Amino acid sequence: MITTICLNPCFDKTVSVDRLQPGQVNRIREARVDLGGKGINVAVVAKRLGLEVQCLGIMGENGAAELTALMDREELSHRFMTVPGHVRTNMKVYSLDGQGVTELNEPGTPLNESSLAEFTRIAEEETAGSDMVVLTGSLPPGCPEGTYRDLLKALDGKKCILDTEGKELELAAKGAHPFLIKPNLREMEATLGIELRTMRAIRDAALLFVRLGVQHSVVSMGAMGAMYISADKTLFAPALRVETKSTVGAGDAMIGGMLLGYEIEKDMAKAFRYGIAAGAASVMTEGTQLIVRSDFDALLDQVRIQEV
């Protein structure tokens, strides 16, 4: 069993316009609403890849029934606490003239100390039979500094994957030693406050976290590919050449793919290949639709891994 944790779920609303014009009336051509929140995304990908997975989290009462219905539609096992407030909506605006995507993300329902304490108790209980636990995504207002570190400590003994940035990543790496971290290049740069221009610089940056006790690190770099770094190995995978329809959720899909790879290979360096295929499959889908299993299967043999 794999458990993912999502403390800040959302509805992902994707709209397309001919040309985004700030300060003007923009006519929407198409719109769709999908499940959102990185922990939910990882769980959906893992489920679509055939893994036994559950998702735990907290969500606002207003919108809870609708979000639950979407998880049920995915046949996703879940347990979410509800708190006063509403499920946030994140808007992705696609400009069809090639300007790219503009994201408008709500902060989420504020949490207090008692809610976090209750959720921690639930997480300890519900992960008793889990081999892997994934903690990922933004934290809602009210979460104290070190929230992810404290959750990791409460889940001591589990192989935990952490996908976050900044102070939360630093504190968790120092105080709780995640099994794997998966920042993207921008997040790694923002966390360390430096620009990383070369593969050597990216490797050295990841090794800073390995020396703090992180066992494995994967840094995704978009069109430049991705790197895997551990104490004794550095691997590089070029990006696969696929038609890119949306990069939203690609990092979450990568984690889902690595979960499958680790289930099969029992080795995270070998699982890296599965993550590359899943991330590439994700960008082939429009909006926030995540992954189609047949796309992943077709891409897996195309992945090329180089030792650095």
Tell me which residues are annotated as active site.
252
Could you tell me if 277 and 303 are in contact, meaning their C-beta atoms sit under 8 angstroms apart? Answer: yes
| Rounded Cα distance, 253 and 212, in Å | 26
Which one, of 124, 179, 130, lies nearest residue 150 by Cα? Answer: 124
d(CA 281, CA 257): 10
User: Residue 166: enclosing H or E segment and its boundaries?
Assistant: helix 166-175
Burial class (CB in 10 A: 0-12, 13-18, 19+), 77: middle
Beta bridge partners of 242: none
Q: Using CA atoms, how far apart are residues 258 and 269, in angstroms rounded to an integer?
A: 9
* Residue whose C-alpha is closest to residue 132's, from 298, 274, 268, 13: 268
